[in-house]
Amino acid sequence: MNRRTWAEPFKIKMVEPLRMMSPQERERAARAAGYNTFLLKSEEVYIDLLTDSGTSAMSDRQWAGLMLGDEAYAGSANYYHLEEAVRGHYGYKHLIPTHQGRGAEHLLSRMLIKPGDVVPGNMYFTTTRAHQELAGARFVDVICDEAHDPLDESPFKGNVDVTKLRALIDRVGAKKIPYLCLQCCVNMAGGQPISLENIRATSELCHAHGIRVMLDATRAVENAYFIQQREPGCSRRSIRDILLETCSYTDGCTNSAKKDCLVNIGGFLCVNDDELAEEARNLVVLFEGLHTYGGLAGRDMEAMAIGIGESVQQDHIRARIGQVEYLGDLLHRAGVPIIRPVGGHGVFIDAARFLPHVPRDQFPAQALAAALYVDSGVRAMERGGVSAGRNPDTGQNIFPALELVRLTIPRRVYTQAHMDVTAESVISLFKEPERVVGLRFTSEPKYLRFFQARFEPVEGEGVLRSVARAASGVGV
Ligand code: F0G
């Protein structure tokens, strides 16, 4: 890849030193964390690719914006700046700030779902589905089949399968479907985008049946970049223009501002409907805070307003996605099985193919994430059987088609050498996969178990056999 096409459009003004540890120290840390990368201390991590959520580096403008925080309880000036930024970039009529994305999901599910309802979506996201289920709905996946095939090179693997959606509406009836949840750059599918054409067709079908379409706009800016690069007729359009069109087909959105909007905390709910906005403003007071701050400090809203403006700049988004593609290309060229095409926010390793000797009930992705940490201090995240949880009716483990390790790239944080170190470590494990040992639960929480579950290796001393040989050069 030609680096000039994506080189960073910023320079570094402040650094955060990192601690280097040996593989043996890391094996001890991994054991203490129950081989769950969520339970590691950040200080024990060298390159933190757990998530792109709330991990962005803010710009000097955003930091300056923090100093302009108006911390009034009601009617903060920063709220009005945020409202202007959200209207100008996402286009919705009403803004209800929340402490993060799941706060918005909670309000939305509570307002619209009745027990026994069905909520279709283009694959699920963990917190989104959990809130739908808590409100009494059943989630039904209507994503296209290509999304489940890691090798399929289709450009828009996040698309809704409109035939599946139509069949669902015929089967359960539109009255049982309060809304469809449409996710941009589908996280669990590997950050795969959805096309404008598909968004249009999906919302036409829903609206014809009186079903609302609610966008999960968390990565809608990254989605807009893929539309610009891949969808016929869009190459000359600005990211902002594509983003506005994306939102224009929908009735509102939930958004975790911790991703595209380049802040460390924040989120929002948007709706166009006046009555629904009224109800959301009533509810937000109970669960988050007054409707002009929604659980955020004024300064957080100011940083978010500035971040939204920066997020749609062409240089920024090109470098952001370019860095992810750079890491993906290094792994792909070495033969590592990853989800293709490389998605927007990270590189997703197909752990089932990477570790063919580890059966699904020994959680290959969980084991690979733990082994990668022990090898090089790179912290990744499991997105497979552990994240999928259990079937609420049968209590059986769900083993989704995709058993993935996510190398999630924070925005504007790591350098190309960090990407190189990550690739070296993954490739070294790929050359000797039998060194990685499967895991079993030692404790399993009831909700969103992947966050706090603990494991032990099914045999031997650790998750990576003969750690001493793991001298991959980092922290040794
Ligand atoms: N929707 C999507 C698509 C997400 O990826 C997330 C969070 C949320 C909603 C919830 O937002 O965390 O602000 O409450 N994803 C993070 C991740 C946690 O690591 O992928 P939140």
CA–CA separation, 351 vs 185, rounded Å? 21
Catalytic residue among 5, 60, 61, 73: 73
* C-alpha to C-alpha distances, 93 to 28, 112, 258, 274, 343, nearest whole angstrom: 52, 18, 22, 8, 30
Percentage of the chain surpassing pLDDT 90? Answer: 93
Kindly indicate whether the domain formed by 23-52+314-470 is annotated with CATH number 3.30.2290.10.
Answer: no
| Number of neighbouring beta carbons within 10 Å of residue 245 | 17
Q: Is the pLDDT assigned to residue 467 strictly greater than 80?
A: no
| CA 236–ligand 1 middle distance (angstroms) | 30
Q: Is the pLDDT assigned to residue 424 strictly greater than 80?
A: yes
Q: Is the pLDDT assigned to residue 73 strictly greater than 70?
A: yes
pLDDT digits 0-9 by tens, 392-419:
889 999 999 889 999 999 999 999 999 9
Q: Domain ranges in the chain?
A: 23-52+314-470, 60-311
Catalytic residue among 52, 141, 161, 216: 216
Torsion of the alpha carbons at 419, 226, 84 and 78, rounded to the nearest 10 = -20
Catalytic residue among 212, 383, 406, 412: 383
User: Average of pLDDT values for 382-386?
Assistant: 94
Q: Which two tokens stand for residue 166?
A: 């139509």
* Mean pLDDT over each residue of the chain, to the nearest integer: 95
pTM: 0.94
Please give the helix or strand (H or E) that residue 254 lies within, else none. Answer: strand 252-256
Cβ–ligand 1 contact at 102 (below 6 Å): yes
CB 319 within 8 A of CB 415: no
User: Average of pLDDT values for 270-298?
Assistant: 98
pLDDT digits 0-9 by tens, 266-275:
999 999 999 9
Cβ–ligand 1 contact at 218 (below 6 Å): yes
Q: What is the pLDDT of residue 93?
A: 98
The residue to mutate among 185, 259, 304, having the most atoms of ligand 1 within 8 angstroms of its beta carbon, is 259
Q: How confident is the model at residue 79 (pLDDT cuts 50, 70, 90)?
A: very high
Q: Which is it for the CA torsion 308, 65, 316, 348, positive or negative?
A: negative
Closest ligand 1 atom, residue 267 Cα: 13
Q: Is the pLDDT assigned to residue 192 strictly greater than 90?
A: yes
More confident: 158 or 388: 158
Cβ–ligand 1 contact at 98 (below 6 Å): no
450 included as an active-site residue: yes
Percentage of the chain surpassing pLDDT 70? Answer: 98
The residue to mutate among 125, 287, 296, 405, having the most atoms of ligand 1 within 8 angstroms of its beta carbon, is 125
Catalytic residue among 79, 125, 354, 373: 125
Q: What is the pLDDT of residue 476?
A: 38
Q: What is the pLDDT of residue 448?
A: 87
Q: Is the pLDDT assigned to residue 475 strictly greater than 50?
A: no
The one-letter code for the residue type at 421 is: V
Sort residue 111 into left (φ over 0), alpha (ψ -120 to 50) or beta.
alpha
Q: What is the pLDDT of residue 5?
A: 85
Q: Is the pLDDT assigned to residue 173 strictly greater than 80?
A: yes
CA–CA separation, 178 vs 119, rounded Å? 7
Helix/strand/coil for 2: coil
User: Average of pLDDT values for 441-469?
Assistant: 89
Q: What is the pLDDT of residue 2?
A: 73
Q: What is the pLDDT of residue 141?
A: 97
Q: Is the pLDDT assigned to residue 469 strictly greater than 90?
A: no
Q: How far apart are the two ends of the chain, measured CA to CA in Å?
A: 30
Q: Is the pLDDT assigned to residue 468 strictly greater than 50?
A: no
- Among protein residues, the one with the nearest Cα to ligand 1's atom 9 is 101
CA–CA separation, 84 vs 380, rounded Å? 36
Q: How confident is the model at residue 1 (pLDDT cuts 50, 70, 90)?
A: low
CA–CA separation, 255 vs 337, rounded Å? 31
CATH label, 60-311, candidates 3.40.50.1580, 3.40.50.360, 3.40.640.10, 3.30.450.40: 3.40.640.10
pLDDT digits 0-9 by tens, 204-234:
999 999 999 999 999 999 999 999 999 999 9
Q: What is the pLDDT of residue 447?
A: 86
Residue ranges of the alpha helices (H) in 74-161?
77-89, 101-112, 126-134
Cβ–ligand 1 contact at 126 (below 6 Å): no
Q: What is the pLDDT of residue 3?
A: 76
Q: Is the pLDDT assigned to residue 117 strictly greater than 50?
A: yes
User: Average of pLDDT values for 241-263?
Assistant: 98
Q: Is the pLDDT assigned to residue 362 strictly greater than 90?
A: yes
Q: How confident is the model at residue 4 (pLDDT cuts 50, 70, 90)?
A: confident
Q: What is the pLDDT of residue 331?
A: 98
